[in-house]
Structure 1
Amino acid sequence: MASRDYVPRGVLLLKHIAALGGQTVCRKGVAVTIDGRSRAIARAGDSRGRPLPVWHGCHQLRAGDVFLLNVAPDSFDSRYFGVLSGRTVTARATPFWTEAGQ
């Protein structure tokens, strides 16, 4: 991400964990599914028109694996870089204030 100038090197990112060990994630074309349910659409390029990484096929996550997927359609997450080791997760964010209906 630093090489694409999305964020400076060393900056921690906040991502949602969408799948864990035992679950199956697939990417077929631009469609991303988790356990057979549509979860996201991948884009071909970023906001500067550069091609984004692509992976294809289905992967069953092993114990300790994570699949990161944010709600924002332009998030750079596992829809592009695939399954990661849970060791890449360095902390857990806990909301302390939320608005009703959000």
Structure 2
Amino acid sequence: MTEARKTVTPVWCGRRRALVLLWAVVATMLAGIIGLGASGFRINLTPSEALGVWRILPLNRKVEIDDLVFVCVPVTDAMRAALKRGYLRRGLCAGGFAPLIKTVVARSGQHIEIEDLVRIDGRVLLHSRLQPRDARGRQLMPFAGGTIPPGTVYLHSDFPASFDSRYFGPVPANNILGLAKKVWIYAP
């Protein structure tokens, strides 16, 4: 009687194949994310705007009021402190900051008054009530207000706890990366 031989694959060989497959999947996903990022796609995980996938579109004209934009914040000590507090995320902008999605609500030459609400040229900006403290009870210092300097814009989000120009003031208009366009958003 002839006995059939069975080929037995060692356990470590099966684990090795699984590990190689896992690394291949991770590398493919990472390459896809990098490729999408290079194409202007961004994932928004903050409540200042809708959660989901967005795209940066070129801004081939002068920025206008009500433009929803991606913008890099300036590299300052105040922004580094905001990053440490968790108001900003890490990303590819100068200083290691992630771009923000905000609406341009005022431009150079307009006057900003900040009390309990923001006023632009005397008109109340809707959804602009200042928060005296953040979610952890830390004091928030508002922007002092005044006339917006040349070459800068004042940014806002309707989200009450948004970190925007109410707290950090105007930003250089040339820090705008482009218009923000929704691609896919999470809507519960």
TM-score, length basis structure 2: 0.46
Kept in 1: contact 2:108–2:152 (CA 8 A): yes
> Which residue in the other structure is 1:74 paired with?
161
Q: Could you say which structure has the larger radius of gyration?
A: 2
| Structure 1 counterpart of 2:123, from 18, 37, 48 | 37
How far residue 8 of structure 1 moved from its aligned partner, in angstroms, is 2.6
CA distance in 2, matches of 1:7, 1:78: 13
Matches of residues 1-102 of structure 1 in structure 2 within 5 Å?
1-10=82-91, 11-28=98-115, 30-39=116-125, 40-56=128-144, 58-95=145-182
Count residues in correspondence: 95
How far residue 95 of structure 1 moved from its aligned partner, in angstroms, is 4.8
Where in structure 2 are there 5+ consecutive unaligned residues? 1-81, 92-97
Q: Name the structure where helix makes up a greater proportion of residues.
A: 2
Kept in 1: contact 2:143–2:167 (CA 8 A): yes
Deviations 1:29-63 (A, max 9, x none): x221111011111110111111112233x422233
Kept in 1: contact 2:112–2:121 (CA 8 A): yes
Helix, strand or coil at the partner of 2:166: helix
TM-score, length basis structure 1: 0.79
Superposed CA RMSD in Å reads 1.9
Where in structure 1 are there 5+ consecutive unaligned residues? 98-102
